Copies of this chain bind each other. A is one copy, B any other.
Amino acid sequence: MSLTPDQPSKSGAMTPGSIATELSKLDLPAPSGLKLTLPTTNPKSPLSGDAGPNSALSGNSLFSPVGTDDTGDISGPEPEALTVARRKARSESVSEQLSTTLSEMKLPQPERIFGPNDEQNVEGSEKGKQGVSPEDWDKVKLDDEVPEAVKEPRRMTHSRHTSRADAAVPRTPTIPETPEPSSSSHTVAKEQKVTPFDVEGEVDAEGKDLGIDYDKLTKRFGATLISQELLDRFERLTGEKPHPLLRRGTFYSHRDFNMILDRYEKGQPFYLYTGRGPSSDSMHMGHLIPFMFTAYLQRVFNVPLVIQVTDDEKYLLERDIKKQAELMKKIKGKKPLDLLRHYKKMGQDNIRDIIACGFIPEKTFIFSDLANVGGAFYENVVLMAKTVTQSQSRNVFGFTDSDNIGMFHFAAVQATPSFSNSFPQIFGTRDDIPALIPCAIDQDPYFLLTRDAADKLHYKKPALLHSKFLPALQGAGTKMSASKENTAIFMTDDAKKIAKKIKSHAFSGGGASQELHKQFGGNPDVDIAYQYLGFFEESDEKMEKLAKEYRAGTLSTSEMKAACIEKLQEVVAEFQKNRAEVTDEKLAYFQNSTRKIDPRPKPKEEAVEAAPAA
């Protein structure tokens, strides 16, 4: 912490430093066992009363096959170990609690710390000493335990909002020689900032980008790192080797994944939920890897999957007026509805790509918000919306007063697929079936709110699997961008183009010259070809052999790239074959909201047979 603490100014106006001091005196509640006591949610009120998972719903069951007998003791007691673990688990309420505490403090906004006539506001004074400028405010660390999203309630750059598990900037150091940053080995001048709309890595005192510290992020968000024990249990129970993305650490953190495995073990139902904000450009590998991973999970677990395509979000959350105006011009739109409909159409194109990732058709429901919000789904949107205050939405997502009410409200729409009774065609009126949500770590704030709300609504909390951000071809510090052809492999690229991109653009961890490489070896940890190969290559032996020989300098950069190219060509070719088979009928089938889906878990043997024909 390189911050120079500020003294409170004589007039009593608060400076960032004095606020930090006050905060430290606050005796913030310890993360575990924290009780939420917001005025709108009196825990003593019948609203959050004694209704447990056993309570029957009064409405008619729209779907009868779901029965306790069929699905095991769904509402029975949880295993003791899990109960203990839960009790110890850090409560997500901490974010809300802190948010409330912060809002009650009536902190002055940065630009208002000193009024126009305030003596302390000496123009031209060296910045960083008085702590008065917005830049200095940026450097203030209020408290190490405050989640980023809560700590930084300022306007954020709206740099990305394309996918739940999108491929964005890894922000690992741009210099290959530098090892991956760890939370202890650096002096961090500017903390990383991760919200669903903006991802910024740590910056040191010299302004150098230190990248995302994922361990710290997980700790801050109150999630849990995925342990080898957990992966072993997964393999033991499912009989399947963990997916390369899991065992090589791209999906690296979770919430309640052990609870999902408990349910799997006991034959109790659960389901998968993921989503995407539609994009106009072609989808690239970074977009689709999370869906491929989700398809793998569905095959392994043989459970229902819902995929939300947030065409409404795309329209509501685009703050770049110029960009939207250009798009309007391009589509020859005359009124906002035309633009909204364009996003809806984009969503349909994206759904074709998503379908090509190979889900179990009978168990998968893909939906556009614009087409599907309504009925039981809208009921849950309303219930969810009431659990989130305006200041929480602002703090967690970084919204401002000039942002539109749809942006503030959208959290309720993204949360709703986490509740099983939002999908009567699958779960009838059952609201006690939890979702497992694979998503990029930056989407976690949505589900922090959702998990807190689940308690209030007497619904099941969703479990999560968090991924890191996938690196662009250029490696750390460059963004995988759908509008920048050479930053990513597109799912429409042919074999030749893939080869060319990897050869010309994939950041190499090899030596500066062939001679130096042979002498000192290369670094596979920052080598994009090696990384990309690792997303798909099943053989750990092959990966280890490649890494070992690369480090030794006996495997050349071009040999490493060749191995990568071969694998990517294979993956993309299979995708393209699947994509060509997505007919209009198939598109409609996946989106048919009246199609009944059997929510019952199946024994392993049947699951294998149910693997996708495509």
Q: A-side interface residues toward B, CB under 8 Å?
A: 11-13, 39-40, 42, 45-47, 49-51, 55, 57-59, 103, 106, 108, 111-112, 115-118, 312, 315-316, 321, 324-325, 328-329, 333-341, 369-375, 377-380, 382-383, 385-391, 393-394, 399-406, 408-409, 411-412, 421, 431, 456-459
Nearest Cβ on chain B to A265's Cβ, whole angstroms: 28
Contact A328 B47 (CB under 8 A): yes
* Assembled-state Cα–Cα distance A59/B337 (Å): 10
- Chain B nearest CB, measured from A318 CB (Å): 9
- Cross-chain contact of A405 among B115, B117, B393, B431 (Cβ < 8 A): B393
Residues of chain B lying within 8 A (CB to CB) of residue A13? 115
- Please state if A45 and B325 are interface contacts (CB–CB under 8 Å): yes
A46 CB contact (under 8 Å) in B58, B333, B391: B333
A371 surroundings in chain B (CB, below 8 A) = 375
**Which of B58, B333, B406 meets A385, CB within 8 Å?**
B406
In the bound complex, CA of A127 to CA of B270 (Å):
62
A24 to chain B, nearest CB (A): 19
Q: Evaluate contact between B401 and A103: CB separation under 8 angstroms.
A: yes
From known contacts A12-B115, A371-B375, A382-B312, infer whether A406 and B412 are also in contact, taking CB-CB under 8 Å: yes
Within 8 Å by CB of A401, from B378, B383, B391, B457, lies: B391
Q: Which residues of B contact A377 (CB under 8 A)?
A: 374
Contact B405 A389 (CB under 8 A): yes
Q: Given A51-B334, A58-B341, A375-B371, are A45 and B328 neighbors across the interface (CB < 8 Å)?
A: yes
Cα distance A409–B412 in the bound complex, in angstroms: 11
CA separation between A106 and B113, bound complex, in Å? 12
Q: With CB as the reference atom, state the residue of chain B lying closest to A459.
A: B335
Supposing A372-B374, A406-B409, A408-B408 touch, asked if A47 and B389 sit within 8 A by C-beta, the answer is: no
CB within 8 Å for A403 and B379 given contacts A46-B329, A324-B47: no
Contacting A118 at CB < 8 Å: which of B12, B383, B400, B404?
A: B12
Instruction: Check B378–A316 contact: CB distance below 8 A.
Output: no
Q: Check A379–B370 contact: CB distance below 8 A.
A: yes
| Contact yes or no, B328 A117, CB < 8 A | no
Asked, given contacts A117-B12, A386-B316, A404-B390, whether A458 binds B46 with beta carbons under 8 Å apart, the answer is: no
List, sorted by A's number, 14 A–B pairs whose CB atoms are closer than 8 Å. Answer: A11-B117, A46-B325, A46-B333, A47-B325, A316-B382, A341-B379, A369-B378, A370-B378, A374-B378, A385-B404, A389-B401, A389-B403, A405-B408, A405-B411
Q: Which of B45, B389, B390 contacts A321 (CB 8 A)?
A: B45
The reply to whether A47 and B337 form a contact with Cβ atoms under 8 Å apart is no
Which residue of A383, A421, A458 has the most chain B CB atoms within 10 A of its CB atom?
A: A383
Give every chain B residue within 8 A of A374 (Cβ-Cβ).
372-375, 377-378
Smallest Cβ distance from A610 to chain B, in angstroms?
31
How many whole Å from A383's CB to the nearest CB in chain B? 5
A334–B378 CB distance below 8 A = no
Give 4 closest A-B pairs by Cβ, nearest first.
A374-B374, A12-B117, A385-B406, A51-B334
Q: How far is the CA of A12 from the CA of B329 in the complex (A)?
A: 48
Whether B401 contacts A335 by the Cβ 8 Å rule is no
Residues of B within 8 A of A40 (CB): 321, 402, 404
Contact of A409 among B118, B341, B385 (CB under 8 A): B385
Nearest B residue to A328 by beta-carbon distance?
Answer: B46
> Which residues on the B side are within 8 Å of A401 (C-beta)?
103, 389-391, 394
Q: Which residues of B contact A341 (CB under 8 A)?
A: 58-59, 379
Residues of B within 8 A of A39 (CB): 321, 402
A51-B334, A403-B389 as given contacts; A383 in contact with B340, CB under 8 Å: yes
> How far, in whole Å, are A404 and B405 apart by their CA atoms in the complex?
11
Cβ-neighbour of A336 out of B116, B373, B457 (below 8 A)? B457
Known contacts A336-B47, A378-B370: does B383 contact A402 (CB below 8 Å)? no
Q: What residue of chain B has the Cβ atom nearest to residue A38's Cβ? A: B402
Of A372, A375, A377, A401, most B-chain CB atoms within 10 Å:
A401
Q: How far is the CB of A183 from chain B (nearest CB, A)?
A: 33
**Cβ-closest chain B residue relative to A384:** B406
Contact A402 B373 (CB under 8 A): no
Chain B positions within 8 Å of A12 at CB level: 115-118
A388 and B401 CA atoms in complex are apart in Å by 10
**With contacts A51-B334, A337-B431 known, is A405 near B379, CB below 8 A?**
no
Q: Report B-chain residues with C-beta under 8 Å of the C-beta of A51.
A: 334-335
CA distance A375 to B368 in the complex (A): 10
Indicate if the CB atoms of A412 and B405 lie closer than 8 Å. yes
A412-B406 Cα distance, complex, nearest whole Å: 8
A112 engages B106 (CB within 8 Å): yes
**Distance in Å: Cβ of A133 to nearest Cβ of chain B:** 17
Q: How far is the CA of A609 from the CA of B394 in the complex (A)?
A: 56
B370 to A382, Cβ gap below 8 A? Answer: yes
Return chain B residues, CB-CB under 8 Å to A45.
321, 324-325, 328
A388–B373 CB distance below 8 A: no
Contact of A49 among B47, B334, B394 (CB under 8 A): B334
In the complex, A49→B334 CA distance in Å? 7
